[in-house]
Structure 1
Amino acid sequence: MIWLIGSGQMAQDYVRILQDCNVDFLCIGRGESSANICKMKTNQDVFVGGLQKFLLEQNDEKPSHVIVATNVESLFENCLLLLKQGVKNILLEKPGALKYSEFLSLNNEAKKTNSNIYIAYNRRFYASVLKAKELILEDGGVKSFHFDFTEWSHAIENLDKSLLVKNKWFLCNSTHVVDLAFFLGGKPKELNSYSSSGLDWHPSASSFCGSGISEKNALFSYHANWRSPGRWSIEIMTNNYRLIFKPLEKLFIQKKGEISIYSYDDIDYTIDMRYKPGLYLQVQNFLSNKVENFCSLFEQIEMLEYYYKIAKYNID
């Protein structure tokens, strides 16, 4: 039995995949409004009242796997409840929590129950990324890389999101890009970072620049300016290729000795077009316990040192 916690838009994307995977699952929501919308869109029954109420009313049957797809503010409390119930395998929507101390609390509780927690960075499972990994391996590995996590501040400031989430927007949203870049190029071994120009809703900074060297000995650099136009992008340099993700869902390539950049066409995007990109393979691998490409909670905690440095956050 699988549990899906949440009934909002992200949870609805998971519902469609779980239905198509023909697995037994329960959808556990909190608010009646979102639950009704979820049922209308997916024809999936939803328990209303939240996880804590569900745990009080349900029998002793424990799920083999749980996906937590609530809003960001509720990720920590729901994951902690599941750990205290002894749940062994949890796929936790990114970023996993809002505070450094909350990540540590989850990790300590997971150790007590010998539970596995994975952060749901679904972009690791894009068709474009899987093909790029093949090309990187064939060409002797990543030699250097660059990424841009520019956010559209003019749009974000008007979003119906809590100030708690907006204040940590780099952690909550920009790490989609940063996680993928370091997944491909290697986690930082050294990092020099600079930032400036805080915004009302993201006071730590809005302009970011930095460089370093990864554990794979690849040099990297990054830049983002949330006050200026731009978009997310990653460029991976190997001996013979420049692999370009712009947008991240598509792979473009430039070969040594050529000026032109063209779309890499030998990729089957069928699954990424049918579902939210990356999500189907992420779920399939999670349920099959094939977790080598996942970001574990422990890995996320390791990366927080660098995320907080890039974003100029104070340890909380």
Structure 2
Amino acid sequence: MKKWKVAIVGAGYMAQEHARALSSIDVVELVGVCGRTRQRAEALAQAHAMPVYRSITEMYADTQADAVVVTVNELAMPDVCAESFRFPWVCLLEKPVGVDLQAATRILEDSRRADARAFVAFNRRSYSATRQALQELAADDGPRLISVLDQEDQDAARAAGQPEEVVRNWMYANSIHLIDYFSFMARGDVVSIEHGAPWTPESPRFVAATIRFSSGDVGIYQAVWNAPGPWSVTVTNREIRLEMRPIERLAVQRRGERRLTEIEPELVDAEYKPGLRYQAEQLISILEGRQAGLATLDDAMRSMELCAKIYGLAPAS
């Protein structure tokens, strides 16, 4: 049985979760880790019986890995990606792809120059609830109303030790998880964005925007900043209303019914960080030359651009 060799860059929480999901797949061999903090890298290496390397270049030269999972922080992403793209492995990059739109653009341009095979770990796309929702939507090609409720807290981010540049760009760091739902739940291109409540960086409070797509789909984005609120996604068409609140669980209301019926998520989303085991399987599908549902860097860039336009950080089309 062929073993696919996977290396990891970064040794923090997400690196640990990716390693746990990947190591549960029979055809995967974890072959090395390279991390900024030597102590954490050694702990991760010991947990999965793999060596620690001083650099990405050294790790590829020694392992000839088939894939690498990059889990470094937003500020380090451009330089780490540029080095990772030098080698012919498949790259799975943790989101966000850079601290802001400019950094994401640099990473995308570097990947194109290197002709890199790069994908982005939007694990919420891999939630069983999200996949179940897409299956429900496939039965009706009519217009969709997609409503996203976001809640963010910059004070909590600061208290958690996030760098100030990351906190200032927290919509890219965290809201991107929810804004990405528009990128694959809605069909067609963004036609217009109307700002009902614009972003006020000097005094963050509420953000509201209506996004219209060429398909006729409509997106409604609402965010509360530094105030309480749940994360939720709802999608409605002629026949069904889908609600994910929390995002990890799906409930369905069909036409003619008055109640939501909960759909049980797959057990794997309880055994591992939700979405990561399925995402790991998708990475292996790519290595085996099969189709997979991972977001490409171009997909991620569309979500970053949409985030910028919702928050008035880039010109609206």
Q: Which residue of 2 aligns with 1:24?
A: 29
Map 1:270-289; keep pairs closer than 5 Å: 270-289=267-286
Match for 2:239: what amino acid?
Answer: N
TM-score of the superposition, structure 1-length normalised?
0.87
Gaps of at least 5 residues in structure 1 are: none
The answer to whether the 8 A contact 1:88-1:114 is kept is: no
Cα distance change of structure 1 residues 152 and 104 upon mapping to structure 2, 3 Å threshold = closer
Query: How far apart, in 2, do the equivalents of 1:46 and 1:188 lie?
Result: 46
Q: Which residue of 2 aligns with 1:209?
A: 208
Query: How far apart, in 2, do the equivalents of 1:79 and 1:36 lie?
Result: 22
Select which of 187, 194, 209 maps to 1:192. Answer: 194
Query: Please, which moves more after superposition, 148-157 or 270-279?
Result: 148-157
The answer to whether the 8 A contact 2:305-2:314 is kept is: no
Query: How far apart, in 2, do the equivalents of 1:246 and 1:57 lie?
Result: 41
Moved over 4 A (4+): none
Percent identity, aligned pairs only?
21
Query: How far apart, in 2, do the equivalents of 1:57 and 1:224 lie?
Result: 42
Query: How far apart, in 2, do the equivalents of 1:250 and 1:58 lie?
Result: 39
Match for 2:279: what amino acid?
Answer: Q
Question: Cα distance, 1:174 vs. partner?
Answer: 0.8
Give a deviation string over 1:78-121, Cα, whole Å, max 9, x none: 110011x2334211110111243332332233223321211110
Cα distance change of structure 1 residues 139 and 12 upon mapping to structure 2, 3 Å threshold = same
Give a deviation string over 1:257-310, Cα, whole Å, max 9, x none: 333223124x4x211111110111111112221555322212322333321122
Query: How far apart, in 2, do the equivalents of 1:56 and 1:20 lie?
Result: 26
The answer to whether the 8 A contact 2:33-2:45 is kept is: no
Q: Which residue of 2 aligns with 1:251?
A: 250
Q: Which residue of 2 aligns with 1:75?
A: 77
Cα distance change of structure 1 residues 133 and 298 upon mapping to structure 2, 3 Å threshold = same
The answer to whether the 8 A contact 2:92-2:118 is kept is: yes
Q: Which residue of 2 aligns with 1:65?
A: 67
Q: Which residue of 2 aligns with 1:5?
A: 9
Query: How far apart, in 2, do the equivalents of 1:294 and 1:166 lie?
Result: 27
Query: How far apart, in 2, do the equivalents of 1:294 and 1:114 lie?
Result: 18
Query: Please, which moves more after superposition, 90-99 or 306-315?
Result: 306-315
Cα distance change of structure 1 residues 58 and 144 upon mapping to structure 2, 3 Å threshold = closer
Map 1:260-271; keep pairs closer than 5 Å: 260-265=259-264, 267=265, 269-271=266-268
Query: How far apart, in 2, do the equivalents of 1:141 and 1:231 lie?
Result: 28
Question: Cα distance, 1:50 vs. partner?
Answer: 4.3
The answer to whether the 8 A contact 1:125-1:282 is kept is: yes
Query: How far apart, in 2, do the equivalents of 1:303 and 1:58 lie?
Result: 30
Cα distance change of structure 1 residues 302 and 133 upon mapping to structure 2, 3 Å threshold = closer
Query: How far apart, in 2, do the equivalents of 1:113 and 1:79 lie?
Result: 11
SS of 1:171's partner is: helix
Aligned length: 304
Q: Which residue of 1 aligns with 2:312?
A: 312
Q: Which residue of 2 aligns with 1:298?
A: 298
Query: How far apart, in 1, do the equivalents of 2:246 and 2:164 lie?
Result: 28
Question: Cα distance, 1:31 vs. partner?
Answer: 0.9
Question: Cα distance, 1:45 vs. partner?
Answer: 3.5
Cα distance change of structure 1 residues 10 and 250 upon mapping to structure 2, 3 Å threshold = same
TM-score of the superposition, structure 2-length normalised?
0.87
Match for 1:114: what amino acid?
Answer: D
Query: How far apart, in 2, do the equivalents of 1:279 and 1:109 lie?
Result: 26
Query: How far apart, in 1, do the equivalents of 2:51 and 2:175 lie?
Result: 31
SS of 1:288's partner is: helix
Query: Please, which moves more after superposition, 138-147 or 55-64?
Result: 55-64
The answer to whether the 8 A contact 1:252-1:264 is kept is: yes
Gaps of at least 5 residues in structure 2 are: none
